[in-house]
Amino acid sequence: MTLTSLPAPDLAAIKTRQQATWASGDFAVIGVTLQLVGEMLAEAADVRAGERVLDVAAGNGNASLAAARRFAEVTSSDYVPALLEKGRRRAEAEGLPITFVTGDAEALPFADASFDVALSSFGVMFSPDHRRTAAELLRVVRPGGRIALANWTPEGFLGALFRTIARHLPPPAGLESPMLWGSEPHLRELFGPGIGALRTQRQIFPFRYRSAAHWVEVFRRFYGPIHRAFAALDAAGQAALEADLLALLAEWNSAGAGSLVVPAEYLEVVISRR
C-alpha cells in the first residue's frame, strides 16, 4: 500500500479518545503551573478592558483568568466539563466574572464575529483537525480582531516528549502532529487569507520540579497523555517508558544535580484577522 492510498484517519473517533484522555488524571494540577503563559499571552494579544474575549480549549482557565484580570468580558470554552469546573472555581475564588461554556474547538457554539480576541494556551493545538479549528477561530473573531496562541514547538522539550511517548504508544496513522502548531509556516498555511498580520515570538517556560522522578510521578498521575500511555502498557512497557522519560529529563535538565528545571520552548503567536 502506498502512502497516497492510506485511509484518512477517523477524526471523530480520535477526538472521542482525546476527550477521554484529557478528562483522565487531573490536568488542572499541571495547568495551574502554566499560569505565567496565560498572563504573557494576554499581554501579547494586548487584551483591553471591555473587549469580548474567548478562551478556546481553555482547560482550567489560565488565559481566561488573565484576560478577566484585565477587565475584559471573558468566555471560557472547553470540551471537558470537569476542566471548566476547575476554571469556574478559580474564577469564583478571585471574584472574576467569567462565562463558562462547554464547546468543541472544531465546532464553536458561537455566532460569527462574536469576539474581539480569541486566546488559546496549549489548547487548540491538540485538536485533531487543524484546518477546521483554524477556520473556527477565524469565524468567531471579528475582522480586525486578534487570535493569540501559545503552542509548544516541535524542536522544544514537548516535541521531544511526545516523540518519546510515540515510540511506546504510536499515535493514529495519518494524524498531524499537534507540534506543527508551533511552526510558523504551518500556521500561515492554516490561517491563509484570514491573516492580516502574523507575529511570532519563541518563548521559554521552565518546568520546575524536585527531580526527574518527581516530574514523572506528577505527570504520570495527572497529565492525560502520559497517564493514558502508562495505563495502556503492561508492566514491562511501563518500566521502559519510565526509563525513557527519566533519560529525556536528564538530557534536558538545566539545573544540575539536586533539582529539575526543564526549559520548554513554545511559540507565542498573535494573528491580526483580516
Three-class SS of 52-68:
EEEEECCCCCHHHHHHH
255 burial via Cβ count (<10 Å: 0-12, 13-18, 19+)? middle
The distance of Cα 94 from the centroid of its chain, to the nearest Å, equals 23
Question: Which helix (DSSP H) or strand (DSSP E) does residue 257 occupy?
Answer: none
User: Count of residues for the chain?
Assistant: 274
Handedness of CA 192, 193, 194, 199 (dihedral sign): positive
The band of 245, judged by pLDDT with boundaries at 50, 70 and 90, is very high
Cell of 212: 526527574
Mind listing the pLDDT tens digit for each residue in 84-139? 999 999 999 999 999 999 999 999 999 999 999 999 999 999 999 999 999 999 99
Please give the domain boundaries of the chain with CATH numbers for all domains: 10-154+173-206+265-273 (3.40.50.150)
CA distance 39 to 236: 41
Torsion of CA 126, 251, 249, 212, to 10 degrees: -170
**150-206 pLDDT, tens per residue?**
999 999 999 999 999 999 999 988 899 999 999 999 999 999 999 999 999 999 999
Give the cell for residue 166.
510515540
Grid-cell match 498573535, residue found:
270
Q: Is the dihedral of CA 160, 78, 100, 25 positive or negative?
A: negative
Q: Are 35 and 62 in contact (CB under 8 A)?
A: yes
The model's pTM is 0.94
d(CA 13, CA 18): 9
Cα-atom radius of gyration of the chain, to the nearest Å?
A: 18
User: Backbone phi, then psi, for 255, in 5-degree steps?
Assistant: -95, -15
* pLDDT tier at 24, thresholds 50, 70, 90: confident
Angle at 47 between CA 43 and CA 50, to 5 degrees: 155
